[in-house]
Amino acid sequence: MRALAASLSVGPTTVQAAYNSLRRRGIVGGAGRAGTRVTTRPPLPLPSAPVPEGVRDLASGNPDERLLPPITTALRAVGGGHRLYGEAADREELLASFTRELRADGIAVPALTIVSGALDGVERVLQAYLGPGDAVAIEDPGYSGVLDLLRALGLTPRPVAIDDEGPRPDQLARALEAGVGAIVLTPRAQNPTGAALTQSRVRELRRVLTRHRETLVIEDDHAGPIAGAPARSLIARNRPQWSVIRSVSKSLGPDLRVAALAGDTTTVARVQGRRMVGAGWVSGILQEVVAHLRADAATTRLWRDAERTYARRRTGLMTALDAHGIAAHGSSGLNVWVPVPEESRVVQGLLTLGWAVRAGERYRIASPPAVRITTATLEPDDASRLAADLAMVLEPRLRRTSTA
């Protein structure tokens, strides 16, 4: 700063003020002893390219609409009264429903609030503790929405390699030792790989986290009851700063922008306080619809059917790919992650054969190339044809690639 002040013929205080302004705006970020770097610009809201007519859409990541509960009855059941300023932000019946569910899964609920979807919850918790230039450990490959969010907030992503059981303990330890303010992870139905935490992996990761008690931990459990894997959490009783976010977007429908955000009392209070000077609350109408659907026994039966159906379709593609010698990942959730030597060639090749899949580049930082295939609507016969077509696109000698 002194050198820059001298070269510009200004005072050091002026340089300091300019530097702080750039940091607050997320234009530059500190990297410890590595110095200061210009950060990646916030992502532009570019619309996804439409899937051409006649092409099967396995790229969007949507759940199967036939496995979502009908909302007509729930809409009729919503009370006709208006919600006014000053009323409670969160519906008690919805809080009680999520509290029972989370506690049944072994997750403590010292405090709980409602947010507008999983990513909204992740953003609010990050902003409650971190500022531009701070580093955040994220899964690699991981959800593109989280990666875009970090860049938009001026935060620095630190990749943590994963396998089918979740983040690798050695990689998480390395990121923590390098210095991160928070960790964002998906305990099951990980997007894009389908990874799901096992009990043994939870124990290993908790041991790593005990050496970094002050690091904020955020778990994005976006698939909830239809994930196809048990709910497991890294949160230990003595963790001071944490949040578990459970969305309804995959189980009840993406347009119901509702998620429960559980956490320590300070974290939840900070989220609620910030929300009061912004949106104020999540629509009471949406909350009542979600509460009604979650209380309906028919929804519970549909969730069980959806979980079995999604698992059958996901494993069906995995089996079909394996028959052609193609390695893939998909322990849970709605997607299968297929390592490939070159993403663009595979995506274009499958498109010419009538399949739209997603290139993995938006999900990766340091992990190798792959494509994401959404299996939510993929029946076994279709899976066999897709696997055969992918085998045609891939050169035989390159089918077996290293795991993600």
Closest CA to 68 of 296, 284, 274: 296
Number of Cβ within a 10 Å radius of residue 391: 17
Q: Which helix (H) or strand (E) holds 263?
A: strand 259-263
Beta bridge partners of 220: 245
How do residues 106-137 score in pLDDT, each as one tens digit? Answer: 999 999 999 999 999 999 999 999 999 899 99
Does residue 318 contact residue 336 with C-beta atoms inside 8 Å? Answer: yes
Mean pLDDT of all residues in 240-255: 96
Mean pLDDT of 238-262: 96
More confident residue, 20 or 387: 387
Gap between the Cα atoms of 129 and 140, Å rounded: 23
Q: What is the pLDDT of residue 42?
A: 56
Burial of 97 (0-12, 13-18, 19+ CB in 10 A): middle
The CA distance from 78 to 74, in Å, is 6
Lowest mean pLDDT segment, chosen from 30-44, 206-220, 278-292? 30-44
| Lowest-confidence pick of 7-21, 206-220, 261-275 | 7-21
pLDDT at 399 over 60: no
Give the confidence band of 13 by pLDDT, cuts at 50, 70, 90.
Answer: confident
CA–CA dist 348, 327 (Å, integer): 20
* pTM for the predicted model, two decimal places: 0.86
Total Cβ atoms within 10 A of residue 220: 27
Give the pLDDT mean for 354-361. Answer: 95
pLDDT (average), residues 136-146:
96
Greater confidence, 191 or 47?
Answer: 191
Q: Where are the beta strands (DSSP E) in 73-168?
A: 111-115, 135-140, 156-163, 166-167
Place 41 in a pLDDT band, splitting at 50, 70 and 90: low
* Percent of the chain whose predicted confidence (pLDDT) is above 90: 76
* pLDDT tens readout for residues 170-186: 999 999 999 999 999 99
**Token reading at 176:** 């923590």
Span of 37-51, 211-225, 240-254, 265-279 with lowest mean pLDDT: 37-51
**Quick one: pLDDT at residue 32?**
60
* Overall average pLDDT of the 277-281 stretch: 88
Please report, rounded to a whole number, the percentage of residues in the chain having pLDDT higher than 70.
Answer: 92
Q: For residue 404, is pLDDT > 60?
A: no
The per-residue pLDDT of the chain, averaged, comes to 91
Quick one: average pLDDT of 45-71? 87
Residue 81 confidence (pLDDT) = 77
Angle 348-65-375 from CA coordinates, rounded to 5°:
40
Residue 402 confidence (pLDDT) above 50? no
pLDDT in tens, 323-335: 999 999 999 999 9
* Domains, in order of start, for the chain: 56-64+299-398 (3.90.1150.10), 89-295 (3.40.640.10)
66-79 residue pLDDT tens: 999 999 888 888 87
What's the pLDDT at 77? 82
**pLDDT tier for residue 47 given thresholds of 50, 70 and 90:** low
